[in-house]
A and B are shown apart, each in its own frame.
Chain A
């Protein structure tokens, strides 16, 4: 780790000002401190944003809920109403890291975290994502990598909450140049589809303030498969949200994680599921649509059958 200044911001305006050209916002620090220690990210100043007022609240509402960017993953996981209103979000939160990590990790940090690609994270590898020449994963060990990408980098998005929030059609409110911008989850990540150096669409100085989650969909679910039973990254994750009317799905949204640089959504799959009762044939066809065009690498084709299983199981959970 290289030396840096540490300052605490007391307002969002001063946070942006204090950041300067080479600063980094510090909230829970799980991702940032690791990157600083491994010389993946450089910062001359860390701006502690944990004292920013008003960003640490969970605010229920009839039409939508607001969750502040500084709310911890543990608070989301433990919130009794979230468990009922957004079970998929609860499940996604419960799968993040370990209890100790969830206690300090924040919603904003979870959404803004960088790729976990082991080439990107290696201190002595200058990969494409770090503005090097090549993506080592393509010819190397890509067992944890993406089935879809719009650029040459094949590292996938790994935020659990992004996947659940995508299915729930949440909006991120981001402070950019003094203005609050509303970004869908797709918009929050779309830059990473095209740009190999991007992890999300946030620009330097952008600050996630909160997310708004519509309560329109009464049912949601999130499932992931990891190599270990706890405290492990997802190999594939899946979230779905919908209403259920007489056993038929309405307003369905399905999203997959860890298979694309963005939360993976397929409009045709959502449309196909509309009004359907999720029986085996329907689920299989939905999986076909969701995984159409997948381009497995040398070591990650297993993610296709795994994703199919997760799609089936997650959609079935909506009926429970």
Chain B
């Protein structure tokens, strides 16, 4: 078992992102920046029907349009499409304009079918079936422990609540897609992905090519949040178009398309009965939930993890529990893994119920948590956070804040794994002039992977981070995991440690010098003569672990006359083992919290039941938090070097929405039980909205 140095020189220092300057100056090459001689633009024809039997697709006219070099159908022969925006065909041409004209020239013979896009409609027995062979909502899976019915009678207080969340879209800043080129060696695909090897294997499978003939390059990418593990239909179409055209093709989705077919977080409709003994000890949890994952979380859910089931009763132990969950299919795009799949939504349901129970018990909600949370680390985090936030001073009885603008506070928690992948490999090349290149077949989803690798290498080699060049995002480098589950940092750091440690040993052996690090580095490297030293290594045991907590406190102000919620402050207390670089870690926290504010207050995919379309496929009406919506975010990272490196990208997103929802309930004295908490819902919860016409 290896250990990190007890007195690190670089680890834990605030190292700015090594690729920050490249990103802000536009030097960084994203998939959509790739230029190649003869590059064509690809575009996709999508179903205008929410459900239809496609009889025939005729591409001939499109092929003959000026500037069009290729046209392909997604599938030959009749098929059924099951949502508005499902891919039908694609064209490649010399300009977007040429492609748009050609898409209009594609003839599609189709028979529209009945459809259903809203959960409440799809549940009805006579609803149109999304899949012919099965009802939209199968009977729930039931898990039961203890005796719920008896336990309900033994409680001092039982609350019943109904908590709902909306379908949330990933909307990464960089859309899905990429640039694909064929040559004698096979395919090179610059895909915006969080898993270069899963894209490589997906492309090889779809194109019936040897995996060795497919190279995927993702030097930089603009976010994925779980929706970018595979090549996607768009990636495969780009490759097919490039093959047919005999020219490279760039196919990047538009913002409009992002709202339709590349993933989302399922909705939830959670009915909770939660009961406790008089001292607050949780005794019974009775739960029913359904949500929609669109047309399903089946083959379309690349990377998995997109189902509607939630991990309940989340972080709490309840001896008697009955959990019934199911998924309802609708004619809408399929869900995919989305930053801590299930957790933020589970947290919202459970933590809402906890606060409602605390009110009924007459307990401080923080005390109720401390009473029932089995996690040692979170117990510590509650105390640190309460102090930092000023919980004792700020917490008042629900609704007791004076004036039309009411202030409230809330708290919620997280649990996550975040361990690394033991199969991660890497290599280092040390040149005679002392320069160092570390190569890893991982990609940076935006968390600062290059920086984590550079900091680790610098620590082991006794160098500064800027003396290390880190190359990532190429399937020609030693393989690493996809960036999901917050695994990347805990995969990369132990691997780089191993690679660099082996390299030091090898360099010592080759040069005969007892210490090659730090100031001896250049002299040692010079002794290599004309042959660079290349050393490979792999993930090493003992340098990382798994399992984090995380607690967040929120303070909000709610205008009870207009319904507007303003988040005033979020305090985050988060552990992530050994902190490699506080700057990139804090950056993860900021992003997670801001995304949580979106889930809490703004984000909702809206479907129209009449036409079956997504009504808000843009940033105008699919609302994301802007800088004016972002409060002070006060971050406390607990450094635990003895645990090694653990990821934190997902846990920091989990509790934000629940904490905000609890703060709003605390401010108002009534709960808005549905996310996002819009002014409309606040006014309705306050009983201020008159009954609409029948």
In the complex, the chain B residue whose C-beta lies closest to that of A308 is B561
Shortest beta-carbon distance from A317 to chain B in Å: 14
Find out whether the CB atom of B602 lies under 8 angstroms from the CB atom of A227.
yes
- The 0/1 profile, CB within 8 Å of B marked 1, for residues 271-308 of chain A is 00000000000000000000000011111111011101
Scan residues 587-609 of chain B and give those whose CB is less than 8 A from a CB of chain A.
601-602, 606, 608-609
The answer, among B101, B623, B691, for a CB contact under 8 Å with A232, is B623
Scan residues 437-489 of chain B and give those whose CB is less than 8 A from a CB of chain A.
none
Interface-lining segment among A12-20, A60-68, A138-146: A138-146
CB neighbours of B609 from chain A (8 A): 140
A139 to B683, CA, bound (A): 22
Would you call B299 an interface residue if the criterion is a C-beta within 8 Å of the partner chain's C-beta atoms? no
Find out whether the CB atom of A229 lies under 8 angstroms from the CB atom of B97.
no
The answer, among A1, A141, A230, A233, for a CB contact under 8 Å with B615, is A141
Shortest beta-carbon distance from A257 to chain B in Å: 15
Would you call A309 an interface residue if the criterion is a C-beta within 8 Å of the partner chain's C-beta atoms? yes
Shortest beta-carbon distance from B665 to chain A in Å: 19
- The 0/1 profile, CB within 8 Å of A marked 1, for residues 617-639 of chain B is 10011010111110000000000
A312 to B100, CA, bound (A): 50
Would you call B613 an interface residue if the criterion is a C-beta within 8 Å of the partner chain's C-beta atoms? yes
Find out whether the CB atom of B621 lies under 8 angstroms from the CB atom of A118.
yes
| Band of interface residues on B | 35 or more
Find out whether the CB atom of B610 lies under 8 angstroms from the CB atom of A231.
no
In the complex, the chain A residue whose C-beta lies closest to that of B625 is A228
CB neighbours of A299 from chain B (8 A): 680, 692
A3/B562 contact (C-beta < 8 A), A136-B608, A302-B689 known? no
- The 0/1 profile, CB within 8 Å of B marked 1, for residues 1-13 of chain A is 1110000000000
Find out whether the CB atom of A298 lies under 8 angstroms from the CB atom of B562.
no
Would you call A79 an interface residue if the criterion is a C-beta within 8 Å of the partner chain's C-beta atoms? no
Shortest beta-carbon distance from B600 to chain A in Å: 12
Find out whether the CB atom of B693 lies under 8 angstroms from the CB atom of A230.
no
Find out whether the CB atom of A231 lies under 8 angstroms from the CB atom of B628.
yes
- The 0/1 profile, CB within 8 Å of A marked 1, for residues 77-116 of chain B is 0000000100000000000010011000000000000000
The answer, among A1, A136, A298, A313, for a CB contact under 8 Å with B610, is A136
- The 0/1 profile, CB within 8 Å of A marked 1, for residues 653-694 of chain B is 000000000000000000000000011100110001111110
Shortest beta-carbon distance from A137 to chain B in Å: 9
In the complex, the chain B residue whose C-beta lies closest to that of A124 is B48
Shortest beta-carbon distance from A191 to chain B in Å: 25
Would you call A125 an interface residue if the criterion is a C-beta within 8 Å of the partner chain's C-beta atoms? yes
Shortest beta-carbon distance from A109 to chain B in Å: 16
Specify the main secondary structure of chain B where it touches its partner. loop
A297 to B101, CA, bound (A): 39
A2 to B96, CA, bound (A): 11
CB neighbours of B212 from chain A (8 A): none
A305/B620 contact (C-beta < 8 A), A119-B608, A141-B608 known? no
Would you call B510 an interface residue if the criterion is a C-beta within 8 Å of the partner chain's C-beta atoms? no
A310 to B559, CA, bound (A): 12
Find out whether the CB atom of A225 lies under 8 angstroms from the CB atom of B626.
no
The answer, among B101, B561, B602, B692, for a CB contact under 8 Å with A309, is B561
| Band of interface residues on A | 35 or more
Would you call A122 an interface residue if the criterion is a C-beta within 8 Å of the partner chain's C-beta atoms? yes
Would you call A116 an interface residue if the criterion is a C-beta within 8 Å of the partner chain's C-beta atoms? yes
Find out whether the CB atom of A225 lies under 8 angstroms from the CB atom of B628.
no
The answer, among B256, B561, B563, B626, for a CB contact under 8 Å with A229, is B626
Would you call A235 an interface residue if the criterion is a C-beta within 8 Å of the partner chain's C-beta atoms? yes
CB neighbours of B562 from chain A (8 A): 225, 306, 309-310
Find out whether the CB atom of B620 lies under 8 angstroms from the CB atom of A122.
no
In the complex, the chain A residue whose C-beta lies closest to that of B566 is A229
A235 to B679, CA, bound (A): 9
Would you call B207 an interface residue if the criterion is a C-beta within 8 Å of the partner chain's C-beta atoms? no
In the complex, the chain A residue whose C-beta lies closest to that of B606 is A141
A233/B561 contact (C-beta < 8 A), A119-B608, A136-B610 known? no
In the complex, the chain B residue whose C-beta lies closest to that of A313 is B561
Find out whether the CB atom of A140 lies under 8 angstroms from the CB atom of B629.
no
Find out whether the CB atom of A228 lies under 8 angstroms from the CB atom of B602.
yes
A297/B692 contact (C-beta < 8 A), A140-B609, A309-B561 known? yes
Would you call B13 an interface residue if the criterion is a C-beta within 8 Å of the partner chain's C-beta atoms? no
Find out whether the CB atom of B679 lies under 8 angstroms from the CB atom of A306.
yes
The answer, among A124, A227, A297, A301, for a CB contact under 8 Å with B611, is A124
Interface residues of A (CB under 8 A from B): 1-3, 116, 118-119, 122-125, 136, 139-141, 143-144, 225, 227-233, 235, 295-302, 304-306, 308-310, 312-313
Query: 28 pairs across A/B with beta carbons < 8 Å?
Result: A2-B100, A3-B97, A118-B606, A118-B616, A124-B48, A125-B608, A125-B613, A136-B608, A136-B610, A140-B608, A140-B610, A143-B680, A225-B562, A225-B563, A225-B679, A227-B623, A227-B679, A228-B602, A230-B627, A230-B629, A231-B628, A235-B679, A301-B689, A301-B691, A302-B689, A305-B683, A305-B690, A309-B562
The 3 closest A-B pairs by CB, nearest first: A230-B628, A309-B561, A229-B628
**Beyond A301-B691, A305-B683, A305-B688: 13 further Cβ-contacts under 8 Å?**
A1-B100, A2-B100, A118-B616, A139-B610, A144-B621, A229-B626, A231-B626, A296-B690, A298-B692, A300-B692, A301-B690, A302-B689, A306-B563
Interface residues of B (CB under 8 A from A): 48, 84, 97, 100-101, 256, 559, 561-564, 566, 601-602, 606, 608-611, 613, 615-617, 620-621, 623, 625-629, 678-680, 683-684, 688-693
